[in-house]
Structure 1
Amino acid sequence: MSGRPAVPYLRVKRAVDVVVSGAGLLVGAPVMAVVAAAVRRDLGSPVLFRQLRPGLRGAPFELVKFRTMRTVGADDGVDTDAQRLTPFGSWLRSTSLDELPTLWNVLRGDMSLVGPRPLLMEYLDRYTPDQARRHEVRPGITGLAQVRGRNELSWDQKFAADVEYVDGVGWRADLRILAATLATVLRRQGISAPGAATMHLFTGSPPADAAPGRHDAA
């Protein structure tokens, strides 16, 4: 059974997203300028990571973040996230500073401050019907799965949390998640999955063991 949130709250949620993301981009501009310069020095150009991700109802949009990984060619002998992730990039991820440009996605309406994290387009045909319900709301910068363990959770646990959020979305849930996100970021918890630099690829349910692939896990 679908537990789609009531339309009135979604309108309020969208208004809050616009105000907070707009203010965040203005206030955070000096910090983003410093981070951009540091990314350019450490990783070169481009400074921003751009990738198509599925949004509301699975519609694709271009996600933007600061780059945290080296760009390598087929002949470089590098094929895992652990090999591509630089120490500076790892620090950016641990502090969540790489997410600052994503506020632009929130302002545009591609994303929300709170919601299921946007994953890879290739995952769309791997979800079960219940897991696919995570796309009934806009994806978020943070979400219930992130405050429950982030990449320390299994895929099944992540998707269960995403659907739980869809069924219970409301201002109380969003405020609790935002408050818990601050604590999670300060403690730098759940940045990597066990045995991986980021997160193992999702190959479908029931989940199969998969080696870390070349992707930029959220």
Structure 2
Amino acid sequence: MKLEIVLSKRMIEMYKNYFKRISDFVLSLMALIVLSPLLIMLMLIGVFTMKGNPFFCQKRIGFNEKEFKLIKFRSMSNAKDKSGNLLPNEKRLTKYGKILRTSSLDELPELINILKGDSGIIGTTKKNLDFTRVSLA
């Protein structure tokens, strides 16, 4: 029984140290290649729908507590009130953004983060840094 536990721990460590990163890299690269027509189409629609940058970046905490910028497709406009404050989320969410969110297509650019090694295909995603800092205060 002890041999099984030691063997399992060694296998888990080997997976974490070697195979996980290789598999994340290969799978995300393949997905980016296969999905590139869809990604390009969504990017172009986003440029026109959002009148500019189709991407949303948010600071997150990744492997070894390293900070990185998570990439997603934008689903909200930057509409502001008369005082220059952003409108509530409900008013800024576009029809295009609703489609992206309900189909989870807004998450596709995260494949770039996986390819770069900022995050993985399998694993927990930590809250954004702004949320973490506010929660700890």
TM class, shorter-chain normalised?
Answer: 0.7 to 0.9
Whichever structure has more helix as a proportion of its residues is 2
Give the CA deviation at 1:76. 5.2
> 1:21-170, aligned counterparts within 5 Å?
21-73=28-80, 75=83, 78-125=86-133
- Per the alignment, residue 12 of structure 1 pairs with 19
Q: Is the partner of 2:70 in helix, strand or coil? A: strand
Q: Distance in 1 between matches of 2:98 and 2:21?
A: 31
Structure 2, gaps ≥5 residues long? 1-8
**Kept in 2: contact 1:64–1:105 (CA 8 A):** yes
Q: Distance in 1 between matches of 2:80 and 2:66?
A: 30
Deviations 1:119-153 (A, max 9, x none): 21134457xxxxxxxxxxxxxxxxxxxxxxxxxxx
Q: Is the partner of 1:113 in helix, strand or coil? A: coil
- Per the alignment, residue 189 of structure 1 pairs with none
- Per the alignment, residue 6 of structure 2 pairs with none
Q: Which amino acid aligns with 1:52?
A: K
Q: Which amino acid aligns with 1:102?
A: E
Structure 1, gaps ≥5 residues long? 127-202, 205-218
**Kept in 1: contact 2:57–2:72 (CA 8 A):** yes
Q: Distance in 1 between matches of 2:28 and 2:98?
A: 24
List structure 1 runs of 4+ shifted beyond 4 angstroms.
none
What's the C-alpha RMSD, in Å, of the aligned pairs?
A: 2.3
Q: Which amino acid aligns with 1:93?
A: R
**Kept in 2: contact 1:63–1:102 (CA 8 A):** yes
**Kept in 2: contact 1:58–1:124 (CA 8 A):** no
TM-score normalised over the length of structure 1: 0.52
Q: Distance in 1 between matches of 2:77 and 2:99?
A: 14
TM-score normalised over the length of structure 2: 0.80
Q: Distance in 2 between matches of 1:77 and 1:89?
A: 20
Structure with higher RCO (Cα < 8 A, 6+ apart): 2
